[in-house]
Amino acid sequence: MFGRVDKNKTEHRQLIDSIHIEEVIEDKIKECQKENERYMTSESNRLRALYGDEAVDRILQRLSKRRYQGNKYQEKGINPAINPRE
């Protein structure tokens, strides 16, 4: 009765919390990039201390991949979101 929690609800709640944390990290990284025109090492160290190395690395890799894919489409002059038939 007391202390018993449905395992599915707990896992779902942990997933929601991790997604929220990733959104917070991503927003802070983007904000730092807007203010300084690049991502500062001090901001990286601060985020790593707060949220852990793994979460910050995952977000940085995701942003890097987005940036690379965006540049790849710009170089070719093709944007699949705008021109899905090509």
Tokens of 35: 């203010």
What is the pLDDT, as a whole number, of residue 58? 92
Question: What's the rounded mean pLDDT across residues 16-20?
Answer: 76
Spell out the domain ranges in the chain: 7-76
What is the pLDDT, as a whole number, of residue 60? 92
Whether this model's pTM surpasses 0.75: no
21-64 pLDDT, tens digit per residue, is 889 999 999 898 889 888 888 999 999 999 999 999 999 999 88
Confidence of residue 69 (pLDDT cuts 50, 70, 90): confident
Query: Is 59 within 8 Å of 29 (Cβ atoms)?
Result: yes
Measured between alpha carbons, how far is 25 from 44 in angstroms, rounded to an integer?
A: 10
